[in-house]
Amino acid sequence: MHTRIRKAREERGYTREKFAEKLDVSVSYLAELERGRTGISVKMLIKVCNVLGLSADYVLFGEERTEDKKRVDAINRIDAQYIPLLDKVINELLALSGNK
């Protein structure tokens, strides 16, 4: 798990300092987390996933859920001109479900 977090952080261009700032944790805590020397709370796992755009399945188990991967792949194939429309649909669905 810890190596997947570090790798994703690096792939997204975050320094350890910047990533720690986004998570509102100390750099030393993040270093210990990335080295596998400390555990991660559910609350912190959610923050990590949100900041890095990862699923908890990937962080914990190294694999995406098949349905999620299919959705992400489909979204990645959408022409850029339709992204604002997609954002609008997602926001409306979140509003309808009370999760906005």
Query: What does the DSSP assignment read for 4-69?
Result: HHHHHHHHTT--HHHHHHHHTS-HHHHHHHHTTSS---HHHHHHHHHHHT--HHHHHHS---HHHH
Residue 85 CB-density burial (10 A; 0-12 exposed, 13-18 middle, 19+ buried) = exposed
| Mean pLDDT on 28-41 | 94
Question: What is residue 71's predicted lDDT score, i.e. its pLDDT?
Answer: 82
pLDDT band at residue 72 under the 50/70/90 scheme: confident
Per DSSP, 77 falls in state: T
Question: What is residue 62's predicted lDDT score, i.e. its pLDDT?
Answer: 87
| Length of the chain (residues) | 100
Q: What percent of the chain has pLDDT over 90?
A: 63
